[in-house]
Structure 1
């Protein structure tokens, strides 16, 4: 059993076992000895410790993980040993210089180069990242800003979003150079050399006046203001994302456990699922899939909001991220497959026909057509799929009912009234659809001179809702009088030819005669209103199912139409009038 030690490395707390701690301590002490007396040694050592802390954090899966000797060896291998480098090379100018081959150059990271900046260091940072001279990049931004305005927006966004290369490690990252002892030492010494050169040539009085007047440039101040506003806006977005994510997850959890799994709440959606489902998937399975499909994205919305608000929020780890992503993709894929299978249930239509001859006691009487109640009017539920819902028969058995009943008329070829009942349903194949259509229950009866048609069809729940409907075709002899009672309103089908061009419900309550050409002739419809003198003079506008017809007289070539609160006024102009 190894003893563990808590250490603070670059302001970060680590748990490290005793053997690894002793090796790391000796390594850092040897580095301090190597750089003893070197200009900038404190900064070099601080940057080295910061880089070691970064490498440890990359290797840790959680904050409680203990650093072992193996991980210390891996970090030392990346950073290199102090003896691999020549610290004071100028002392031994006659000796051959030792060389050290650093690891292969790493991928560059985008930072703002504040050492070479004109405004925010964006273009200087892009020079390192893209490999183009900063002058050309600045020209591109200027041209885009002048001609499109996009250059200014892009520059400000990059200024806000791209971090500046402040530390030695970040500057090496910006150039794609390995962050090891050699490169850290070189960068720090370069910085000291630059400072020394500037000190030799500086005008102390001017520098003093400049420091007194302003410690920041104008663009630095603008940048600070923009960054402050962006942070405030970012915090607001973070709070909003947390509220949306948390509220959605709570709602989904409640729906999953109360409706999907426990079915403790009578929710209409469950009944709807029972009506339409033919996949065989239980409601709890579909509920679980829907939960994962929506809850996982909302979880990441919540996590993103927390990341915006909490700077030091620990990552959930790549394993958790990819596991959730895989679970989400599986849920979406299964739901898509179930949806395709469900859609296939409506791909084909099957029909069956039931024909009958209606023998009236007195053939000369007017044939009356009405809808009769089926008992489902008051024994039904409010869950609907199209025109289909649940109902209860006389034995209190739950069935599917629908009022999707259509009545059309045609001329009979003989002197008898005939009826054809066509039952339609959908299915994955024509055979399945026809079998489902056979299961539709529908009744009618001849009562004296009245044909009473059921107001509802019904079928067993096991047949599911597949757009079941009934179309009733009445074949009526020529010269036979027909009347549609008020109860048929909403059930009369389209396409019944009549001399008044009435559409569907317009046929109700009038007496109609079946003509020789199969067209119904109205016997008691109101006459068309006579044209008034003003209409005769000014022409007329006819609006019907064929569209709008503007009828002008022969001596008229234009008209004026006014529409206001008083109605519509049409005034025609003669050809001879201006």
Structure 2
């Protein structure tokens, strides 16, 4: 029966016989004494202790026991080697004391890496230079595209050689004291060589590098600064030119609107919404609201471009007062115009038509000449007798003056056109008066009825939400041939649904008024033929 004790080797607990402990303690004392005067001796001793702990664990697991005996310590320390072995220089350190090459383990070599050290680790494992492994990987990647995938997988699977023991196992070197010392000396020599190279070339290299980067960034900054200044000047010049031209056209627009724009121009929506007595104040307020920001933008561009203040604080305050004045005028007169839309009124006008079994419904795409048009074009009434029309296809005045068209069956067997005219005003009387000044024309010539494209406001009446609804009522069995131009006005039927297939746009749509309303004449004729 032998006495056992518990020891701790770098955080790993072992049960060991007392005499085996004495042998292990004597061994570690020799090792520590040998490395006592070596730089970084603690790191070497720690690596040796870690390796001893790994070997003890492997031996206990192999022999399925729990206590370390003297034989275990003797054999493991023999494999590790003693401090006296440093006096003997082996020709090939890759062979252990038994004469067998040490087993290599697969690790990533992070000391000789380009990306992750995979190729270097494979080179050590297969005893090849890492550059050939890299060349093979690159060729496989370029030809088949799988080299990169394999590299990433190995990068994830292969552990990195971090400790000195792992680095020795990666290179296939026996993990003993001699190789521990050899690896440490090689690392120390490499560090010294790098320090010497750095000492010889660092000062001039750093100086040259610093001068290079200093000059590079200074020149780059100068170039960028000049480009930015040039860009700002170009933008500033564009802003100044555009602003000055806009100011010129704005002033000319105000003069034109206040002094020279005739009454015909005011009939265009939305200008015709403004009361005649409010137009000049509203135009002037809009002028101020646009003028002041344009002036401020031009002055700001001049200040940035020439680095010169061109307006005093008093001038800036005056511009602000003018802009606020324009805003106040716009709000005041805008609210007055808005109050003209409070009430609505409607009245109807019904005109009897001559009865015709077939009616041709057309749209007049020309503009009816008002009294102001006649004066402007110097047209004599006795000469033209109201027959002068101007094509308005290129002078659309907007949806505000377009009428709504409906075709319905007459309940009393008569032919008629009803105009329902609606307008708004400050009160009912004003709304009714505005509605009564709405003009809409249609003309019947035998079986042809021509409807104007737009309605008109007489006596410069401002637009007050005017709406014109035109209802054509015809008795049953009346045939209607309708121009398809009216399809945009007709609301209760789609004219395009009643034309022959692949017909041209000029082909009219033909309908018949029935008890239930209009029916496509083509469908009625087809049904009649089928019935026969």
TM-score by length of 2: 0.44
More helix by share: 2
Structure with higher RCO (Cα < 8 A, 6+ apart): 2
